[in-house]
Every structure is written in structure tokens, then in C-alpha cells.
Chains A and B, each alone.
Chain A
């Protein structure tokens, strides 16, 4: 039914998952940094994090991606010329995609982690400090593990939205599932079949993710 393009779609699926997981890693780092900045007592840091989350949530992901891809290309080549290189440098769509999506979801995860951090009772932290743990030990042994449980529902939601966002990386030329689908649809002249197949594969990712997060959620709350 897929005229032998099934394997190609699965290759694309692997790329899509790769982009999604790499973006999630970037987003988690940025989200934690953003939450720390928002919760810090330094107004400059908190203000910068506020501007970051507002800007990102106000601009479509496609516009940001085009800005990073084309803008990054122009910037890199401008710098290369200044440093005496005369070749033309292409930006890798995988890198541009991961950076953009990671940057976008970092803003959403900033709110997630901030809320989760605030959800852990102050008494927990105080008790840790009273036991003579250092602030770092309190964070690692007391706050972080409990915070993760509060962050889980929002983390799972953001992951589902993130996976779907990766589809637009095909528009800057990455060979992900969407692009493989487009190629197969063009070659066989059966676009409906292939886009429907891609839709089912995305649905498969989201369904499996939901099951996985449901399991994690039950596991993290089993002591309650």
C-alpha cells in the first residue's frame, strides 16, 4: 500500500524523534535556568526571564524558526567573511530546528518548573537546612525530586505539543518524517495515503507518550 516507502517513513520517524528528544533536552536546561532566574531575587535576572517567556509565547514557532535559520545563516556567513573565509557556510537544519524548538519550549518549561518549585512546601527546605545540609544538598536531595513530580503533568503536555511542533522543521529542509512523507507523496501521486500514514505515526508517538507519562505519574505518586 505504501509502494515500498514504509522504510523511508520509518527513517523519517527516527529523525523526528531525534529532533524532539534533542529539543526537549535543550528546553529542560533553558527551562531550569529560566525558572531559577525568575525565582531569583535579582530584578535584572527575573526581568530578563520575564521578557524571554513573553517574547517566545507571543511569536509563532514558524517565524522564530525562519528567523534562526535564515538569520543564523546570514550572521554566520557575515562573521566568516569578516574573519577572512570566502566559502559559503550552510546551517544544518537539524541544529537550527533543535535550537529553535528547544528555545521555544524552554520558555514554556520555565513556567512549568517555576510552578513546580513553588509547589514544594517551604517547610521541606527549612527542615533540610535545619539538618545541616548545604543549599545545594537541599536542592538535590529534597526540592528537585519533589519538584519533578509536580512538573510531570505539564512536562507531559509540553512534550506532546513539542513533538507536533517538530513537523515544521521539514519546512527548512530537514529530512524528518514530514519531508519523507512529502517525497513519497510526490513520487507516487498518492498524497492522501501518505499524509494519512504520517498522521497515524504522529498519533502513535503521542499515544505511546501518553501511556508512558501515565505510568511515570502513577509511579511518582505511589507513596501518596
Chain B
């Protein structure tokens, strides 16, 4: 069973309150933790993909222009969104319980001063199960 785990970060204040205010050593510790988790998942044969996404300043929203279908590009994620997708992991595991275990581990990634962030991880099943006879 494949699951996507999405790491959402609060959109407001990442610079003034979030990771932007951590001491460099804490940032390094956080990154090292994520790398370690990915290595562990890879060694267990469970890792499908893991990516971090550029910060929301770089995000663009694209729509097709009504008549021409040409891309219309505007800045930033949707204004109403309170969180942004910081990164994601896709794992292939035996059970949902195992996916939840991985998500909890990622959630407890170290933050400022090494204190676990306990950030919310959205866990969604990837729809790749073959259909059964109906």
C-alpha cells in the first residue's frame, strides 16, 4: 500500500516565528534527521519518493486563459491558505498502521532547541490498488 505524507507548515510567520528563527545548529539537526529517516526507509525497501518543495515565495498559480488556453501566472499559493506544503514523502508499506508509525516519526522531527515539532502530517493513500471484480 502506498501512502503520501504531506508536511504542512504554517504559512504565516515562517520567517519570523518558524524555521527562520532557529539557530543554525538546530536547522542542521532538523535536516540531518530528515535525511536519516529517508535513509532508514530506503534501507527497509519502503521509500518511493521524498522531496522538499521550494518555499511559498517561489510558488506560482497557473490558470488557462478562457479563450486562448494560454497560461496565466499569478504569484503565490492561494491567498486563503493558512499552511503551505513544505515537502512530501511517498512510502510503500504493508499496512496503514506502518504508515502512521512513519508519519509519527516524521512529525516528531527536532525543531528549535531540539524540541520535537510534533507537526501535523497529512497521510493519504495513493490509489494504486488493482480493482476487484464487481
Chains A and B are bound partners: no
